[in-house]
Amino acid sequence: MINGTNSNGTERQPIIELSGVRKVYGSGTAAMEALRGVDLRIYPGEFVAVMGPSGSGKSTCMNIVGCLDTPTSGAYRFCGVEVGDLTRNQRALLRRHYLGFVFQGYNLLNRTSALENIELPLIYRGVTVRSRHQQARQAMEVVGLTGWQHHTPGELSGGQQQRVAIARAIVTQPLVLLADEPTGNLDSARSIEIMELLTSLNENQGITIVMVTHEPDMAEYATRTVHFKDGLISTDHSHKENA
């Protein structure tokens, strides 16, 4: 009911638009084509699950979508901006202001409190100390970690660490949240908690989510599932359209 708003008639701009994206690693005979012409459009408010066996190109695609990498050929427009034309620093600024990342291995800073971990992206945005604390506490509240701000990652469980990582990704209120196997290291009960958190972020905060997962159960939470195979999208179907 929130994202099924294609009924108002106006043409919606895709937030992420890949057309004919190819990515080749190496050169000559050693060249390896990871993506072989991928077309993908993701609209604001979608929750997309990206699936596929390893080596299918889904990670490469996610790196390009996350502006960490650029296509060898083809076009990737983020909010209408051609990412391939940007410099390394410009892409960093794009990530800083519009993207949130949740990594598979959490990638939290060791021996640094949860609150400071969450504040990290705000530091690079130049947010003042006071509003940094405030925004970080809000993000902690959203992920249900109030009261844990002074614990370091070593003192938190896996599920809690992933919540900190999610709080760090959403504290800047990004347009798109990119999650790489966010439940990969968690048991099923924790996985369900994390997926419910992501679903609520998607539904209540309107954050577009692109999530890589191996588990069909987890993909169930998304509104759309994209399957990769051999560097191409094999299936792409929406579900829960009118949930």
Partner 1 sequence: MLGNALLLALRELRRNVMRSFLTMLGIIIGVAAVIILVTLGGGATKQVTEQISSLGSNLMMVVPGKRMGPGQGSSSAPFKLADAEAIEREISGLRAVAPASSAMVTAVLGNENWSSTVTGTTASYFDVLNRRIQEGRIFSQSEARSGVSVCIIGETIRNKLFGGQDPIGNKIRLGNISCEVIGLLAEKGQNTMGQDQDDIVIMPLRTFQRRIAGNEDISLIQVSVKDGISTDKAKVDIGRLMRVRRHLSASEDDNFSVMDLKEISTMLSGTTKVLTGLLGAVAAVSLLVGGIGIMNIMLVSVTERTREIGTRLAIGALEREVLLQFLVEAVVLSCSGGLIGIVLALTVSLGLSSLLQIPFVFNAPIVVVGFVFSGAIGVVFGYFPARKAAQLDPIEALRHE
Binding site for partner 1 (CB under 8 A): 63, 66, 68-69, 88-89, 92-97, 99-101, 103, 105, 107, 109, 111, 120-121, 123-126, 168
Q: Residue 24 or residue 68: which is nearer to partner 1 going by CB?
A: 68
Q: How far is the CB of 92 from partner 1 (least distance, A)?
A: 5
Q: Residue 115 or residue 224: which is nearer to partner 1 going by CB?
A: 115
Cβ burial, residue 136 (10 Å; 0-12/13-18/19+): buried
Separation CA 48–CA 188 (nearest Å): 20
Residue 43 C-alpha from the chain's centroid? 14
Q: How far is the CB of 217 from partner 1 (least distance, A)?
A: 26
Q: How far is the CB of 23 from partner 1 (least distance, A)?
A: 12
Q: Residue 211 or residue 224: which is nearer to partner 1 going by CB?
A: 211
b (16+ CB within 10 A) / e for 144-176: ebeebbebbbeebeebbbbbbbbbbbbbbebbb
Q: Residue 158 or residue 192: which is nearer to partner 1 going by CB?
A: 158
Separation CA 87–CA 45 (nearest Å): 28
Q: How far is the CB of 41 from partner 1 (least distance, A)?
A: 24
Q: How far is the CB of 79 from partner 1 (least distance, A)?
A: 16
Q: Tokens 């066996």 map to which residue? A: 53
Separation CA 82–CA 186 (nearest Å): 36
The H or E element spanning position 38 is: strand 32-42
Q: How far is the CB of 5 from partner 1 (least distance, A)?
A: 30
Q: Residue 174 or residue 224: which is nearer to partner 1 going by CB?
A: 174
Q: Residue 97 or residue 240: which is nearer to partner 1 going by CB?
A: 97
Separation CA 123–CA 56 (nearest Å): 36
Q: What does the chain come to in residues?
A: 243
